[in-house]
Amino acid sequence: MTTGICTGRVAVVTGAGRGLGRAHALALAAEGAKVVVNDLGVGLDGTGGAPGPARQVVDEIRARGGEAVGHGGDVATPEGAASLIATALQTFGRLDTLVNNAGFLRDRMLVNLDEDDWDAVMRVHLKGHFLPLKHACAHWRAEAEAGRTPEARVINTSSGAGLLGSVGQGNYAAAKAGIVALTLVAAAETSRYGVQVNAIAPAARTRMTEQTFADAMAAPEGGFDAMAPENVSPLVVWLGSAASAGVTGRVFEAEGGRITVMEGWRPGPSADKGARWTPAEAGEATLKLLAEAEVPQPVYGAR
């Protein structure tokens, strides 16, 4: 059942040709948003590229009576990110919501991880969030300074790997952790311009997860498919709408029918000598503090 919660809004979704991005684009359009569908059409490891996936999603939205336009630029480049925002403004005359979702995997254990694989994953995830965010917020700042303060929304895509770590995914986990920090900074810096910035850590069946979680993520023969990417999209739609007023700088885990507000680093047990510690004193105090502290959540894939 749709409610039209995004009627009149214009949304940009990166990596929207497949998986979670496709589900978000379709859900936003179903709720009345006009959508810019960005996708390079690359393979799981980021190689190759074709316009087909983005075009197919645009066609799906239009077939359902919605409005959409495709964008095939690389959002991890200044030119691609700028043209993404320009496409929304030139096609639909405004921009209200940015969903940063694009990414790919190059998983290796740390000692086998090549520098190129590190750089490529950091580039698409972290830089691919930063540049669209930068250009969108520059537009919204200009609008606010012109007396047209927007109800702007940004939804970034982190991961449980970025919150807890994940064995074999040092590059991906580091990038996704960086996205959380970027979200917090952006939320603090842009609130004066009418911008709200949040992040999600989704768990769903996509090309990026189907091999890692093949058994757990098999689609059921009947009943509720808890791992369908469409389960994550309602939260994204709400966060991307004006109805989420006042919600910013937050991280949400979304999986199946569950939504969790994730609570990050905050001070735990502490000791203050009031003077410089010796190494032995520092060690003794630290062991006492650790005994009082909560046990960390395990890293995904750790034994």
Q: Mind telling me the catalytic residues? A: 159, 172, 176
How do beta strands 68-71 and 258-262 pair?
unpaired
Q: How far apart are CA 299 and CA 303, in angstroms?
A: 9
19 CB neighbour count, 10 Å cutoff: 22
Q: How far apart are CA 147 and CA 194, in angstroms?
A: 11
85-88, long-range: CB within 8 Å, 24+ apart, which pairs? 85/12, 85/132, 85/135, 85/136, 85/139, 87/12, 87/36, 88/10, 88/12, 88/36
Q: How far apart are CA 161 and CA 125, in angstroms?
A: 13
